[in-house]
Structure 1
Amino acid sequence: MPYKIDLFAIFILLGFFQAIFLSVFFLSRENRKTQVNLFWGVLLISQGACILEIFLMYTGYIVNTLYLVDFSEPLGLMIGPSFYLMALSVTRPPLSKKYYWHFAFPLLYFVLLIPFLLQPDVVKYNSWVGAYKVPLPFKEYHYHGNPRVFWLTDHATEFILTSIVLYTILLCVEVLRFFKQKGISFWRPGSNAFKYLRNHFLVVVSTVLLLLIVKAINQHDTGDHIFATFIAVSIYLTSFQVMQHSHFFKQSSAQEAERYKSSTLSGEGQQMLLKKLDNFMIAERPYLSPDFSLPELAQKLGTSVHILSQVINVGLRKSFFEMTAEYRVEEAKKMLIEYNNIKVEEIAEQVGYNSKSSFNTAFKKMTGKTPSEYRRENAKA
């Protein structure tokens, strides 16, 4: 049987590499401290493993890697819990360790699958030919009992589908409950955290619907490449979202400091712009958006990035990011005292931070205390 390489195969393979790359980013030492990143990383690894096996099966390259036949089944069972816990880490942060029991069944399944994973290649080959109805003859082999010793492992597809549908239902209940409880419009959520939750919900539901349609049309696994392609698309969208919220693309030029020497901005002009900047920051509070950037601020003030950067660096003796952090921390200090029932994670999001750890670092640098310590000390006063 010749190898099959087409647009689907290329798209799926690129999606696999992108999933692995992103999982390394989400699970890095700093990023995994935020629970939503941890579960996102687990989800990406699970998705990557599943679409890799689909790629190998679809193209026929599995004959060169027979030891990978059905290796992704336990990881397929991780998909449902991962996207559900991602949502919970937004609606009920922080999650206690008891929520990790959702990964118990995938772990149990992996243990039960070990006898099959240890089978020789000929058993894996026959399993692939039988599952995908490949037009190739079975190889002779004297079986000593059923290679899949345990009943559970004979029904991987059914269990994965059931798990994904069940967790999708739980996700729907949780997300709709959360929006109703907060009194927030589902289609106009406002906050980036709420937009993320809504978009996550829509992607999961649409993916599950497509999966069910594909499985209904294809009695065997011959339609999995369509599902894998859709998963690859969601991975690419995740990459775009990560880049969109990155500060890398919002940095001003490193050469601007040198250009200040030839600047024609007068001392009076600098003071006027400083006053305008302060009034705008107090009245509009643009720093509450995680996407707040120097070019955006310069446009709002009707000046150039170069001039505004000079005013902030020379007039305030701080960088744009330091100035932004000060405004955010001041806002957070008020909220920590005024809204004692709101969790620190939510306050961090509301003042413009995507990461709790980044918020804690900035807050402690400005005040010498963590947000929790600041709230505790001022509550006693």
Structure 2
Amino acid sequence: MQTPPLQLDLFALIIFLGVAQGLFLGIFFLTGERRGSVANRCLGYLMLSLSAVIGEMFLCYSNYMFRLLAFVDFSEPLNFAMGPLFFLFVFARIRGRLPKRWLWHFVPAALWAINAVSWLYQPVEVKYNNYLNAYHPELPFAAEPAYYIPEDFFNLRDYIDEMTLLSCLIYNILALILIHQAYRQADKPFWQNSPIRLAQLRNQCMLFLILPALIVIIKPQFYEDLGDYLLACYLTLIIYSTSIRVMAGSNYFIDEPEVSPPMLELPTETKKKYEKSALSEEVEDAVLGKLNRLLEAEKPYLDSDMSLPKLAARLDTSPHNLSQLLNDRLGQTFFDWLATYRIAEAQRLLNEAATANLKIDEIAERVGYNSPSAFHTAFKRLTNQTPAQYRQLVTRSVQTGPPSRQPFPTSSRSA
């Protein structure tokens, strides 16, 4: 069996960097507090799957596979996991949970993994010939043993490219439909760049949607898998675009002003909590204006992972200054403010005919609560009613007009 020299060029470097970055992102999303988000877990597993798929392409393109013949076609089952993982990521990012019976989406990947048994344990000569057939058809084939495990139980390996294309296309379309529905519920045009969360999902979905088109264009131009290096480069682009989006949403590079040392004299009872930070009235007015415009355009309080640092970054201010502004000008803590807007949005959904029949838990998810119990607690504290009681009041008042809303207490900290 021949072993050609290694092929290490620009394409090999790009693919290798994609493998490394995909592994990094997968570990990043699956560790620490980030793992607590079901959307992050889906994205983490997606990045690891992409890394494995393009990792095999790197081994094949660079000729390293001649030294690792046991790994020939090791990532094929993941071809049918990429589409479901991306769809589940979009679903969880929008609704804060996975759909019912979500495991059924991985049945094709599981079946293909079973089928993989028929070629993963082939003699090394058979693996060598399979690799040559796909990437080096010009080289002579090795003599195979007379008897070995029958290959391809399902007789479907010749259609792996077509089935991968179909899987990616179906799940991308399902993700686009889900994003489009979310835009409609937010009363926003599909191509508008707000809310930012939906715009990011839409753009990422469009990137993934190009993959099936590339398969259609590239595969007929090459014998067997010789063009896979181009698909690997595009998957690397998707991985790095995800990295850029993660860095763009990070607060790590945002400078915060130095905290002034405490004054020696004791503050009087009438001094405000944040008086020492010297936030001018003009700056407060500017930040308040930005906040009002952001609320009108994007409704950031509906994001389930909204936090004080994230909101401050959107307003180009520090978390300390934003906390001071909310306390001094609005008389609320950040958690009071967040709960107030979320519960007001929940009341709107319970009042409107188009959404009045939604389940209480679904309304909780739409207004940013991952926990139904937290939503019920916040609703009760702010309105002196449970969501179910409020819904009953709305039903009784259909003929006489919407129910009057109770004034929100500012002491609640349920966000």
TM range (shorter): 0.7 to 0.9
Change (3 A) 1:315 1:191: closer
Once the two structures are TM-superposed, the CA of residue 157 in structure 1 deviates from its matched residue by 2.7
Greater mean deviation of Cα atoms: 102-111 or 40-49: 40-49
Partner of 1:346: 366
Task: Provide the rounded CA distance (Å) in 2 between the counterparts of 1:48 and 1:267.
Answer: 50
Task: For 1:293, give the aligned amino acid.
Answer: A
TM-score calculated relative to the size of structure 1 = 0.78
CA deviations on 1:92-150 (whole Å, 9 max, x unpaired) are 55333412201011011101211321223222111101122343322222142564141
Q: Hey, what does 2:67 align to over in structure 1?
A: 64
**Unpaired runs of at least 5, structure 1:** 299-304, 349-355
Q: Which of 91, 97, 100 is equivalent to 1:88?
A: 91
In the TM superposition, residue 187 of structure 1 has moved relative to its aligned partner by 1.3
Q: TM-score, normalised by structure 2?
A: 0.72
Is 1:215 the counterpart of 2:219? The answer is yes
Deviations 1:138-183 (A, max 9, x none): 2222142564141345333332223223333434444445545654
Percent identity, aligned pairs only, is: 26
Alpha-carbon spacing, 1:196–1:266, altered in 2? closer, same or farther (3 Å): closer
Q: C-alpha separation between the residues in 1 aligned to 2:112 and 2:99?
A: 24
Q: Secondary structure at the match of 1:249?
A: coil
Question: In structure 1, what is the Cα distance between the partners aligned to 2:378 and 2:293?
Answer: 26
Q: Which residue of 2 aligns with 1:351?
A: none
- Retained in 1: the 8 A contact 2:21–2:239? yes
Is the CA contact (8 Å cut-off) linking 1:50 and 1:75 kept in structure 2?
Answer: yes
1:165 aligns with 2:169: yes
Instruction: Give the match for residue 336 of structure 1.
Output: 346
Cα deviation 1:261-282 (Å, max 9, x = unaligned): 69xx997966846974795587
Q: Which amino acid aligns with 1:336?
A: A
Structure whose alpha-carbon radius of gyration is higher? 2
Counterparts of 1:188 and 1:294 in 2: how far apart (Å)?
Answer: 21
Q: How many angstroms does 1:90 deviate by? A: 4.2
Partner Cα separation in structure 2 for residue 219 and residue 242 of structure 1 = 37
Quick check: 1:23–1:44 contact (8 Å CA) kept in 2?
yes
Q: Tell me the residue number matched to 2:406.
A: none
1:53 — aligned with what? 56
Q: What is the distance in 1 between the residues matched to 2:314 and 2:173?
A: 42
When the two chains are superposed, the root-mean-square deviation of aligned CA atoms in Å is 3.7
Equivalent-residue separation in structure 2 for 1:128 and 1:3 (angstroms): 15
Q: Deviations over 1:287-318 (max 9, x none)?
A: 954653369445xxxxxx7xx9579679969x
Higher helix share: 1
Q: Partners in 1 of 2:287 and 2:15 — Cα distance?
A: 50
Q: Which has the higher contact order (CA 8 A, sep 6+)?
A: 1
Change (3 A) 1:165 1:144: farther
Structure 1 residues 353-364: aligned runs within 5 Å: none
Checking the alignment, whether the CA contact within 8 Å between 1:270 and 1:315 is kept in structure 2 is no
Shift of 1:242: 0.6
Is the Cα–Cα contact under 8 Å of residues 13 and 52 in structure 1 kept in the other structure?
A: yes
Partners of 1:281 and 1:339 in 2: how far apart? 26
2: CA distance, partners of 1:277 / 1:261: 28
Pairing 1:1-381 to 2, within 5 Å after superposition: 1-28=4-31, 30-91=33-94, 93-145=96-148, 147-152=150-155, 154-155=157-158, 156-180=160-184, 183-250=187-254, 252=256, 256-258=258-260, 272=281, 276=285, 280=289, 283-284=292-293, 289=300, 291-293=310-312, 296-298=315-317, 309=320, 324-340=334-350, 341=358, 343-348=363-368, 370-375=374-379, 377-379=385-387, 380=389
- Report the Cα distance in structure 2 between the residues aligned to 1:41 and 1:166, rounded to whole angstroms: 21
Change (3 A) 1:34 1:189: same
Amino acid corresponding to residue 167 of structure 2 in structure 1: S
Tell me how far 1:87 sits from its aligned partner: 2.9
Listed as ranges, the gaps of 5+ residues in structure 2 are 265-273, 301-305, 351-357, 391-415
Between Structure 1 and Structure 2, how many residues are aligned? 349
Matches of 2:280 and 2:252 in 1, distance apart? 29
Cα distance in structure 1, aligned partners of 2:90 and 2:28: 19
Deviates more, 1:190-199 or 1:268-277: 268-277
Using a 3 Å threshold, how does the CA distance of structure 1 residues 137 and 323 change in structure 2: closer, same or farther?
A: farther
Q: More deviation in 186-195 or 329-338?
A: 329-338
